[in-house]
A and B are shown apart, each in its own frame.
Chain A
Amino acid sequence: MLEARSLCKSFGPIQAVKDLSFSLEKGTVLGFLGPNGAGKSTTMRMLTGYLTPTRGTALIQGHDVQSDALAARQCLGYLPEGAPLYAEMTVRQFLTFIARMRNIPAAEIPERLGETLERLSLTEVACQTIETLSKGFRRRVGIAQALIHDPCVLILDEPTDGLDPNQKRDVRRLIQSMLDDKLIIVSTHILEEVPALCNRVMIIANGQLQADDTPQGLLETSRYYQAVTLQVDDSQAAASALSDLPEAARIELKHHELTVFPREGAELLPLVTKLAEQYQWKVHNLRLEAGRLDDVFRRVTTGLEA
């Protein structure tokens, strides 16, 4: 459905994207992660045909984004970074403009417009000029213009950036509701939204693909995966007792919390609870770690452990 073939992009001496290849099928929500300046926006701009790759190309529904640009763009919806909009237009005028540009037949435009406004809860502000809207509404207008023609590939560059937590959740829900038969690419550097939103994750750093997995798969590469964290009254005593466990690879004390890391494949939770009962520790908190994305992200993008 979408295929990137060794995409490269240089700006003078800066190599923003280095030899990126991947292929994505419909039903995928790809979380495109990376620190600021990693090359996420540059990659998306090449996929949408806004930037010409220095080398390589991309295919959308079999259409080359360069040699067959108009056909490729017709199956694409795109929200550029920062959700730029024509501020002097009303929401209705703006979306009508986009609908016409997207070659939606004139007779269908009112109906399509109504549906889209409804879906994004924009009906009440339809006649307001965009510059008078709050940030959350503006972002929704940006998403509305990306999906008014019901594209099969949706590319959203940091759709939740700069929104408050409620607005972020609204945008996430919206993206989830659209999944059915689309391919959605969402770039973000907000890790918390990834497991809830995506079924595939790519992490890029310095323009190179560093990891490509499911969110669960990535969590499993975290060193916190299957670790046990507990909070007890006498951390020192507990730490020494835990370190005697042959299954424990390592013990860390941070913010009055002990974290026990397992050796390869070991199951720590039953052992730790047994010890706690045996020594009668006053346990305030005990949990099995699912893995931490920020830890994986840091390791993958900087090569350092969290």
Chain B
Amino acid sequence: MSAVVTIIRRELLAYFTTPIAFVFLVVFLVLAAAFTFYLGGFYERGIADLQPFFQFHPWLYLFLVPALSMRLWAEERHSGTLELLLTLPLSPWQAVLGKFVAAWLFLGLALLLTLPIWLTVNYLGDADNGRIFSSYLGSWLLAGSLLAIGSCMSALSRNQVIAFVLTLVASFALMLTGLPMILNIFRGWFSQFWIDGIARLSLISHFGGFQRGVIAWYEIVYFILMILFWLYATVVVLKTRRVG
């Protein structure tokens, strides 16, 4: 456990001693605001809620999470520090978990920095704070899932650009499986049972419940399982590389 904590501390230090943290947080906040106020029509709607804010989170994460996750392993492999890290007395699981949790906490911080918008809606009107809380939670879980995908993709390559693109594609695919447009494509070939299965995998549809203010334990379990699956895949990729 202490090894994981040590890794988390080192990773967070790396974010804040390089321009990564600053650039990421600024871009995240600016884009979140732009989406909310211009595309979402925050004021025009005349409703005191954060629906316009949260509805764009999946699209914000689609580009920003891969940008954060691409360095996780690709950079270590490229600079050779992976060899240093993996020959320290810790298991690959601890390394994978430590790096993931650090990045996830960092995304959590980015979300926390959007709290002024929550204060704003409370000032403007009578906001449903339970719903806002569940949306935040869902958003963070969604970000974690995309991050875990990115962790695995980053372990696959020593090239960060490749890691970015792979993560983008994989995330896009996993997000879109829930859209009717995509489901209609499958409808010709699969029975309703499979269509439901595919739809159920979709990240966006699981985020939907949280946005409506419902915190269902099975939705949380879904995201946690999604994260664990991709972290496990990361461990497998790292071990495979070790075999050569």
Chain B min CB distance to A207 (Å): 13
A73 within 8 A of B: yes
Nearest residue (CB) in B for A79 is B84
A51 within 8 A of B: yes
B122 within 8 A of A: no
Chain B residue numbers with a CB within 8 Å of A45 are 83
A80-B17 CB under 8 A given contacts A70-B90, A101-B6: no
Q: Are B83 and A11 in contact (CB under 8 A)?
A: no
How many A-B contacts at CB < 8 Å in the complex? Answer: 73
Chain A residue numbers with a CB within 8 Å of B116 are none
User: Bound complex: CA of A129 vs CA of B18, how far in Å?
Assistant: 11
Binds B, one of A83-91, A214-222, A275-283: A83-91
**Chain A residues with a Cβ closer than 8 Å to the other chain, count:** 35
Binds B, one of A22-30, A92-100, A169-177: A92-100
- The contact sample of 11 A-B pairs, CB cut-off 8 A, is A11-B244, A48-B87, A51-B242, A51-B243, A73-B88, A84-B83, A85-B81, A89-B13, A100-B2, A100-B6, A101-B89
Residues 84-95 of B, flagged 1 when their CB comes within 8 A of A and 0 if not, give 101111110000
A93-B13 CB under 8 A given contacts A9-B244, A51-B242: yes
Residues 38-69 of A, flagged 1 when their CB comes within 8 A of B and 0 if not, give 00000001001111101000000000000001
Residues 176-204 of B, flagged 1 when their CB comes within 8 A of A and 0 if not, give 00000000000000000000000000000
Chain A min CB distance to B187 (Å): 43
Chain A min CB distance to B75 (Å): 10
Chain A min CB distance to B165 (Å): 25
User: Bound complex: CA of A54 vs CA of B243, how far in Å?
Assistant: 8
Q: Which residues of A contact B (CB under 8 A)?
A: 9-11, 45, 48-52, 54, 69-71, 73-74, 76, 78, 80-82, 84-89, 93, 97-98, 100-103, 129, 145
User: Bound complex: CA of A87 vs CA of B14, how far in Å?
Assistant: 10
A101-B81 CB under 8 A given contacts A86-B10, A89-B14: no
Chain A residue numbers with a CB within 8 Å of B225 are none
Chain A min CB distance to B66 (Å): 21
Nearest residue (CB) in A for B85 is A101
B34 within 8 A of A: no
User: Bound complex: CA of A95 vs CA of B17, how far in Å?
Assistant: 16
B3 within 8 A of A: yes
Chain B residue numbers with a CB within 8 Å of A10 are 244
Most buried by B among A54, A70, A102: A70
Chain B residue numbers with a CB within 8 Å of A81 are 80
User: Bound complex: CA of A70 vs CA of B87, how far in Å?
Assistant: 9
Chain A residue numbers with a CB within 8 Å of B18 are 88
Most buried by B among A54, A71, A82, A86: A86
Nearest residue (CB) in A for B239 is A52
Q: Are B83 and A80 in contact (CB under 8 A)?
A: yes
State which of B3, B87, B239 has its C-beta within 8 Å of the C-beta of A78.
Answer: B87
Chain B residue numbers with a CB within 8 Å of A98 are 88
Chain B min CB distance to A157 (Å): 9
